[in-house]
């Protein structure tokens, strides 16, 4: 059973374009807070807030390297988010397929009646 709080946190991270961009950037390799803030044209303080949210969701890990704080990707919690969406997508697709079959059959029966 996936914890609701994990889904809350992971989806909440993904709901922000700056945080998605940070994940995409870290997918290419570790980066410092400054390296992440620059392309987003964001203050270090602003970026640090986003990084804290990502770290609380377990999507990134940060560590002090010399005087800088380095961040790297920890994509495992995305599995939970992915599983939630794909589970319900499959369930709903089956249900809609079932409805299609039902209406096709009913239409067939109506045509028989009309004939």
What's the min distance (Å) between Cβ of 13 and a copy of itself?
Answer: 8
Q: What is the full DSSP assignment across 15-35?
A: TSHHHHHHHHHHTTS-EEHHH
Show the beta-strand stretches assigned E in 40-97: 60-65, 68-73
Name the phi and psi angles at 42, rounded to 5.
Answer: -130, 150
Q: Among 34-42, 48-56, 60-68, 91-99, which window interacts with a copy of itself (CB under 8 A)?
A: 91-99
Contact call for residue 24 and a copy of itself (CB under 8 A):
yes
Q: Among 16-24, 36-44, 47-55, 100-108, which window interacts with a copy of itself (CB under 8 A)?
A: 16-24
* Residue from 91, 97, 102, 103 binding a copy of itself (CB under 8 A): 91
**Contact between 11 and 81 (Cβ < 8 Å):** yes
Contact call for residue 8 and a copy of itself (CB under 8 A):
yes
Integer-rounded Cα Rg, in Å, for the chain is 23
**Contact between 70 and 25 (Cβ < 8 Å):** no
Q: Among 44-52, 64-72, 81-89, 106-114, which window interacts with a copy of itself (CB under 8 A)?
A: 81-89
> Which of residues 65 and 91 has its CB atom nearest to a copy of itself in the complex?
91
């Amino acid at each position: 059973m996936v914890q609701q709080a994990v889904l809350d946190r992971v989806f909440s991270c993904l709901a922000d374009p700056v945080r998605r961009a940070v994940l995409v950037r870290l997918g290419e390799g570790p980066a410092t807070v400054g390296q992440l803030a620059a392309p987003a044209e964001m203050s270090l303080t602003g970026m640090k807030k986003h990084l804290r949210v990502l770290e609380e969701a377990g999507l990134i890990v940060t560590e002090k390297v010399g005087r800088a704080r380095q961040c790297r990707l920890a994509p495992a919690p995305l599995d939970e988010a992915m599983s939630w969406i794909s589970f319900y997508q499959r369930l709903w697709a089956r249900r809609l397929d079932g409805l299609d079959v039902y209406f096709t059959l009913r239409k067939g029966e109506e045509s028989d009646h009309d004939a």
